[in-house]
């Protein structure tokens, strides 16, 4: 049996029956393309989130968020348990604390400059943002400790915020307005992209935390804060000590849950890793459905092809073709279709990922493993779909076939 001739014959059959080949191929092409596209999206999202975590979370830091059960800013969230005095007590009583920074937050506020209005998130921070939250400015200056102490009407803004409000104009020294409060822009923030909650960190306005609390929101509590420790290995012990201290300060009974959340970098990485593992399983499942449908379509088309080619099968058997050769002939035809379709699907998936990644802020990462998975899935579909038709063809009675 000449395998090379068999596969060449299979390729000729594809070209002879173009409509049949197209109907067999389209499901595999769509399924493989979808598989590669979704895997690219999943891998890209995981890498982006982990990069964001590594960029924004020091290995020697603990985030405290007011209220229990959530890990970051949420629209509608209102928790009043954390105060500046809590962080001062932590700095004084918990060993290994180097510094801390407070944070308050207002989502979706109208920010105005002359005739331009844009909805943005407003964050209140201390003057230690560059050290504590690892984000400084690329233009101008961040606000100072004097600005925080006096609740100055100053702000620094993200690059997207600057573009939306000022276009190409230099924003430094210009006055924007949040609600009824005018703020002078002192600087432009370093770019940070999309955070783990899907928020655009470059569409933000930062003001002194005291300014946001006293002049804008008229409150005395914080949304969150970050504590920086001297060594990463001290994080677990510090988190336990902080929890004990805050529960005592907030007069919580043993049966009462915490009214705050202590978030360590390891906790965030574990949660993101688990979430992406789940997505890694379920996102390709949609592509798997398309491939399953493709297998059923191919199997049915090949069964029809077997019936149409009964005389051919009879002639081949009459001149000495064995059952295994007939079996391999029909199986090779489905495999050739599957592999060719898989290659087209891979190309389509890569092209879709590149185009979507260039037109959106979603990172798309096509890996060698994804390509191998796509091609392997196509070959598997070809084998599974071709087994039954090939078996039926090989077991056909040559005398009956020649009638």
Residue tagged 């300014």 (tokens): 211
Quote the percentage of the chain above a pLDDT of 90: 38
pLDDT at 74 (0 to 100): 45
**Residue for token digits 């560059």?**
130
Q: Which residue in this structure is represented by tokens 């209005």? A: 117
313 by Cβ neighbours in 10 Å (0-12 / 13-18 / 19+) ranks as buried
DSSP string, 381-403: HHHHHHHHHHHHHHT--HHHHH-
The single-letter DSSP state of residue 191 is P
Is the pLDDT at 110 greater than 80? The verdict is yes
Residue 306 has a pLDDT of: 67
Chain segment 245-268, per-residue pLDDT in tens: 999 999 999 899 999 988 887 776
Which of 98, 209, 111 is CA-nearest to residue 158? Answer: 111
Instruction: Tell me if 277 sits within 8 A of 49, measured CB to CB.
Output: no
Q: Is the whole model's pTM more than 0.85, yes or no?
A: no
Q: What is the DSSP string of 152-167?
A: -SEEEE-HHHHHHHHT
State yes or no: pLDDT of 16 exceeds 60: yes
**Structural domain boundaries in the chain:** 3-51+270-402, 61-230
pLDDT of 402 reads 53
Furthest C-alpha separation in the chain: 101
Give the pair of three-digit tokens for residue 213: 């609390």
DSSP code at position 72: S
Least confident of 10-24, 76-90, 120-134, 207-221: 10-24
Please answer whether residues 184 and 155 qualify as being in contact, where contact means their C-beta atoms are separated by less than 8 angstroms: yes
Q: What is the mean pLDDT of the chain?
A: 81
């Amino acid at each position: 049996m000449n395998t090379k001739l068999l596969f060449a014959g299979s390729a000729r059959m594809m070209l002879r029956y173009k409509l049949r080949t197209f109907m067999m191929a389209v499901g595999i092409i769509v399924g493989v393309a979808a598989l590669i596209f979704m895997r690219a999206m999943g891998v890209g999202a995981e890498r982006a989130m982990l990069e964001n975590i590594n960029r924004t979370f020091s290995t020697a830091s603990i985030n405290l968020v007011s209220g229990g059960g959530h890990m970051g800013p949420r629209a509608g969230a209102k928790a009043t348990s954390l105060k500046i005095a809590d962080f001062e007590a932590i700095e004084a009583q918990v060993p290994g604390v180097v510094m801390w920074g407070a944070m308050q937050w207002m989502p979706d506020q109208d920010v105005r400059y002359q005739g331009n209005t844009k909805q943005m998130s407003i964050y209140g921070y201390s003057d230690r943002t560059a050290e504590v939250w690892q984000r400084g400015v690329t233009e101008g200056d961040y606000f100072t400790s004097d600005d925080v102490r006096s609740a100055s009407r100053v702000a620094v803004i993200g690059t997207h915020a600057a573009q939306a409000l000022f276009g190409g104009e230099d924003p430094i020294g210009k006055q924007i307005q949040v609600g009824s409060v005018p703020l002078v822009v002192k600087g432009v923030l370093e770019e940070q992209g999309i955070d783990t909650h899907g928020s655009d960190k470059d569409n933000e306005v930062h003001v002194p935390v005291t300014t946001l609390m006293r002049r804008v929101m008229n409150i005395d509590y914080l949304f969150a804060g970050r504590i920086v420790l001297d060594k990463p290995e001290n994080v677990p012990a510090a988190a336990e000590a902080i929890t004990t201290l805050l529960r005592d300060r907030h007069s919580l009974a043993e049966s009462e849950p915490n009214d705050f959340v202590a978030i360590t970098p390891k906790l965030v990485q574990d949660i993101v890793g688990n979430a992406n593992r789940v997505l890694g399983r379920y996102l390709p499942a949609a592509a798997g459905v398309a491939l399953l449908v493709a297998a059923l379509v191919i199997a049915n088309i090949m069964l029809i092809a077997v019936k149409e080619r009964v005389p051919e099968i009879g002639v081949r058997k009459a001149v000495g073709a064995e059952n295994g050769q007939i079996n391999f002939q029909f199986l090779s035809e489905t495999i050739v279709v599957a592999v060719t379709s898989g290659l087209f699907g891979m190309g389509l998936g890569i092209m879709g990922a590149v185009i979507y990644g260039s037109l959106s802020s979603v990172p798309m990462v096509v890996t060698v493993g994804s390509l191998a998975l796509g091609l392997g899935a196509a070959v598997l579909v070809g084998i599974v779909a071709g087994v039954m038709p090939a078996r039926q063809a090989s077991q056909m009675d040559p005398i009956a076939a020649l009638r």
